[in-house]
Amino acid sequence: MIRLTTENTQKAVAKCKQLKPRVKFIQDCLFAVSSANNSNVYHVSFDVKDGEKFGQCECKASEKGLVCYHLVAGATANIYRQSLKRQTA
């Protein structure tokens, strides 16, 4: 899994805002993100260890250890979901 930091997610956040990929919730910390360029769907998963965020995607960029916009899209949806949960708890 790739450790997500403000630095290494910056480019992907910009790309994500531009492309606005569709994100589908599957289960806690697991999302399906539709590619903006083709019909591919990538599954992204998340983990939190010792307060650090980690993420993984199925695409080629992620295989190389890069943070892709799928990860950011999923992470955004994940954070949104967590905040909803907190509000209703």
The residues of the shown chain that bind Zn ion, judged by CB under 5 A, are 42, 57, 59, 62, 68, 70
Nearer to Zn ion, 15 or 81 (CB): 15
**Contact 74/67 with Cβ under 8 angstroms?**
no
Q: Is 12:61 a contact under the CB 8 Å cutoff?
A: no
Shortest CB 87 distance to Zn ion, Å: 29
Helix (H) or strand (E) holding 71: helix 69-88
Burial environment of residue 9 by CB neighbours within 10 A (0 to 12, 13 to 18, 19 or more): buried
Cβ distance to Zn ion smaller for residue 39 or 88:
39
Q: How far is the CB of 80 from Zn ion (least distance, A)?
A: 19
Q: Which is nearer to Zn ion, 53 or 70 (CB)?
A: 70
Least distance in Å: CB of 76 to Zn ion?
14
